[in-house]
Amino acid sequence: MRKALRPVLWLLLILSLMAQVLPALGEGGSTRWADASDEIDKYLDTAFEDYLAGDAGTAYNNVNDAYFRVYETTGFERQTMSYISGVRKNAVEMQFSACKAAVKKENTDQETIVSVRGALLKLKAMIREDGNKLAAQQGGVQSENKFYKNGEPVSADPYPEYSPDPNAAAKYASWYEAASLTKELLDTAYLAYLDKDFEAADDNLNTAYYSVYEESGLSHKIYTELGVKDRRETEKQFAELRTLVSAGNEKYQKNKYRTTSDKTKQVLLKKAKTLDEKAAAEKGTTEAAAEEAATETAEEAQSSPQWLTFLGAFGIIVREGLEAILVIAAIIAYLVKSGNGKSLKNVYIGALAGILASFAAAAVLYFVKQAVAGAGMAQELIEGVTALIAVCVLFYVSNWMISKAEAAAWTGYIDSKVRSGVEKRSAFTLAFTAFLSVFREGAEVVLFYQPMLQEGNAGMVWAGFGAGVVILVFVYLAITKLSIKLPIKVFFTATSILMAVMCVSFLGSGIKELAEGNLFDLTLRVPGIPENDVIQIFGIYPYLETLVPQLILAIILLVTFMIAHYRGRLAAQRKELTAAQQ
d(CA 47, CA 52): 9
d(CA 332, CA 342): 11
Q: What is the pLDDT, as a whole number, of residue 16?
A: 45
Residues 483 and 355 in one domain: yes
- DSSP 8-state secondary structure symbol assigned to residue 519: S
d(CA 465, CA 87): 16
Residues 418 and 515 in one domain: yes
Res. 30 pLDDT band, cuts 50 70 90: low
Residues 184 and 274 in one domain: yes
Q: Is the predicted pLDDT of residue 455 greater than 80, yes or no?
A: no
Q: Is residue 235 a part of any domain in this protein? A: yes
Residues 190 and 269 in one domain: yes
Q: What is the pLDDT, as a whole number, of residue 287?
A: 45
Residues 565 and 472 in one domain: yes
Residues 360 and 450 in one domain: yes
Q: What is the pLDDT, as a whole number, of residue 553?
A: 92
d(CA 36, CA 92): 15
Res. 377 pLDDT band, cuts 50 70 90: low
Residues 317 and 177 in one domain: no
Q: Is the predicted pLDDT of residue 81 greater than 90, yes or no?
A: no
Q: What is the pLDDT, as a whole number, of residue 514?
A: 79
Q: What is the pLDDT, as a whole number, of residue 285?
A: 44
pLDDT, mean of residues 59-87: 79
Question: Are the C-beta atoms of residues 118 and 162 closer than 8 Å to each other?
Answer: no
Q: What is the pLDDT, as a whole number, of residue 532?
A: 56
Q: How far is CA 13 from the centre of its chain?
A: 27
Choose the weakest-confidence range: 204-218, 297-311, 490-504, 543-557.
297-311
Number of domains in the chain: 3
Q: What is the pLDDT, as a whole number, of residue 144?
A: 86
Domain boundary among 236, 263, 282: 282
Q: Is the predicted pLDDT of residue 17 greater than 50, yes or no?
A: no
Q: Is the predicted pLDDT of residue 459 greater than 80, yes or no?
A: no
- DSSP 8-state secondary structure symbol assigned to residue 161: G
Q: Is the predicted pLDDT of residue 46 greater than 90, yes or no?
A: yes
Q: Is residue 158 a part of any domain in this protein? A: no
Residues 135 and 205 in one domain: no
b (16+ CB within 10 A) / e for 76-109: bbbbbbbbbbbbbbbbbbebbeebbebbeeebee
Question: Are the C-beta atoms of residues 443 and 19 closer than 8 Å to each other?
Answer: no
Q: What is the pLDDT, as a whole number, of residue 305?
A: 47
Q: Where are the alpha helices (DSSP H) in 138-253?
A: 175-194, 198-206, 218-221, 228-247
Q: Is the predicted pLDDT of residue 508 greater than 70, yes or no?
A: yes
Most confident listed range (349-363, 485-499, 529-543): 349-363
d(CA 436, CA 198): 42
Q: Is residue 399 a part of any domain in this protein? A: yes
**How many residues are present in the chain?**
582
Q: Is the predicted pLDDT of residue 302 greater than 70, yes or no?
A: no
Domain boundary among 264, 282, 300: 282
Mean pLDDT of the chain: 73
d(CA 146, CA 153): 7
Residues 559 and 513 in one domain: yes
Q: What is the pLDDT, as a whole number, of residue 539?
A: 78
Distance set, CA 55 to CA 65, 96, 130 (Å): 16, 18, 30
Q: Is residue 165 packed enough to be buried (19+ CB in 10 Å), middle (13-18) or exposed (0-12)?
A: exposed
Q: Is the predicted pLDDT of residue 370 greater than 90, yes or no?
A: no
Q: Is residue 419 a part of any domain in this protein? A: yes
Q: What is the pLDDT, as a whole number, of residue 534?
A: 58
Question: In the chain, what is the straight-line distance between the N-terminal and C-terminal CA atoms, in Å?
Answer: 45
Q: What is the pLDDT, as a whole number, of residue 561?
A: 84
Q: Is residue 200 a part of any domain in this protein? A: yes
Instruction: Return the SS3 of 149.
Output: strand
pLDDT, mean of residues 251-276: 86
Residues 359 and 434 in one domain: yes
Q: Is the predicted pLDDT of residue 457 greater than 50, yes or no?
A: yes
Q: Is residue 557 a part of any domain in this protein? A: yes
Instruction: Return the SS3 of 147.
Output: strand
d(CA 207, CA 67): 28
Q: Is residue 406 a part of any domain in this protein? A: yes
Residues 374 and 346 in one domain: yes
Residues 442 and 478 in one domain: yes
pLDDT, mean of residues 459-482: 80
Choose the weakest-confidence range: 135-139, 149-153, 186-190, 286-290.
286-290
Q: What is the pLDDT, as a whole number, of residue 45?
A: 94
pLDDT, mean of residues 279-307: 50
Domain range spanning residue 144? Answer: 29-151
Domain boundary among 103, 122, 151: 151
Contacts of 394 (CB under 8 A, 6+ apart): 327, 433, 499, 500, 502, 503, 506
The pLDDT tens digits for 479-507 are 777 765 656 566 667 767 877 887 888 78
Closest CA to 376 of 322, 275, 444, 438: 444
Q: Is the predicted pLDDT of residue 255 greater than 70, yes or no?
A: yes
Using only the alpha carbons of the chain, give its radius of gyration. Answer: 29
